[in-house]
């Protein structure tokens, strides 16, 4: 891809991103603020519930445990679930020469992940201001864990897009699949709290590895985080490659129908 082509595609993604924001939240009232308020409300609700019930999470404050776990859970649900609908929501746009299905999918995935990222940052500041948590001990490690999670979500979203376009069943069962995968997100427990035989199984989940890195970045050596960055990088690369190859097949399928 030449520099001019890359510039055009970046402009396309920027335009699609703005369109995504307006189509989701409109121009009235607080408009685009719903972009991060919506995922934020979910994490706040769980944090308040666990704080009031004095739920114990070892050395991790309940608000911090909810913030890191449920932010990752919301990002997983939104990035994959809504990216799978990218074509249905923007079908008329793919007949423009410079807009591809991949543009639509990547824009939708980035949009959803950005919303949750803003929510995570904002709530970190608010919770720290109220003394519910401390600022991340190692911000760069927290950023690494969050970035690796986002990478996996984007790849999984591309695969979900293919499955949704090829089968009506996927859209109907996705919400069930979402609930079934919740234990594999790492949102509800640290790996070190579980029996050894369960630990090895959970660490096969890339999301668990990512959340463990994220929490270690937030809470430092006070927790016993277990993860493998090489394993997570490998899974992310494979997932993204499969997603890109499948999206390429979708393009031919959609163009034939169009």
Mean pLDDT of 175-199: 87
Residue 257 has a pLDDT of 45
Alpha-carbon Rg of the chain, whole angstroms? 19
Mean pLDDT of 161-186: 84
Residue 63 has a pLDDT of 83
Most confident stretch, 83-87, 192-196, 206-210: 206-210
Q: Is the pLDDT of residue 137 over 90?
A: yes
Mean pLDDT for the chain overall: 82
- Spatial separation of the C-alpha atoms in residues 196 and 90, rounded to whole Å: 46
pLDDT tens sequence across 21-46: 666 655 555 445 555 566 666 667 76
pLDDT tens sequence across 54-69: 555 667 888 888 889 8
Residue 54 has a pLDDT of 54
Residue 153 has a pLDDT of 96
Residue 215 has a pLDDT of 95
Lowest mean pLDDT among 41-45, 77-81, 137-141, 184-188: 41-45
Residue 256 has a pLDDT of 42
Handedness of CA 210, 213, 216, 221 (dihedral sign): positive
Residue 50 has a pLDDT of 62
The answer to whether 75 touches 151, Cβ cutoff 8 Å, is no
Q: Is the pLDDT of residue 154 over 90?
A: yes
Question: Tokens representing 16?
Answer: 């699609």
The answer to whether 83 touches 112, Cβ cutoff 8 Å, is yes
Lowest mean pLDDT among 50-64, 127-141, 150-164: 50-64
Residue 216 has a pLDDT of 96
């Amino acid at each position: 891809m030449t520099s001019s082509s890359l510039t055009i595609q970046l402009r396309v993604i920027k335009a699609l991103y703005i369109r995504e924001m307006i189509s989701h939240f409109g121009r009235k009232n607080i408009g685009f603020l719903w972009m991060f308020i919506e995922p934020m409300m979910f994490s706040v609700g769980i944090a308040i519930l666990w704080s009031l019930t004095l739920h114990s999470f070892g050395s991790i404050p309940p608000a911090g445990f909810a913030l890191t776990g449920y932010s990752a859970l919301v990002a997983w649900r939104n990035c994959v679930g809504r990216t799978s609908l990218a074509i249905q929501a923007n079908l008329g746009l793919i007949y423009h020469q410079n807009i591809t299905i991949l543009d639509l999918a990547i824009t939708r995935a980035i949009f959803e992940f950005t919303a949750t990222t803003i929510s995570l940052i904002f709530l970190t500041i608010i919770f720290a201001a109220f003394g519910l948590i401390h600022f991340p001990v190692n911000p760069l490690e927290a950023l690494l864990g969050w970035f690796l999670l986002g990478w996996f979500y984007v790849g999984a979203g591309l695969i979900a897009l293919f499955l949704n376009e090829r089968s009506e069943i996927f859209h109907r069962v996705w919400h069930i699949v979402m609930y079934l995968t919740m234990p594999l997100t790492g949102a509800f427990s640290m790996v070190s709290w579980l029996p050894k035989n369960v630990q090895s199984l959970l660490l096969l989940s890339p999301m668990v590895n990512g959340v463990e890195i994220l929490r270690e970045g937030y809470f430092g050596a006070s927790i016993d985080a277990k993860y493998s960055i090489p394993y997570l990088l490998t899974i992310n690369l494979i997932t993204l490659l499969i997603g890109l190859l499948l999206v390429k097949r979708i393009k031919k399928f959609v163009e034939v129908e169009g």
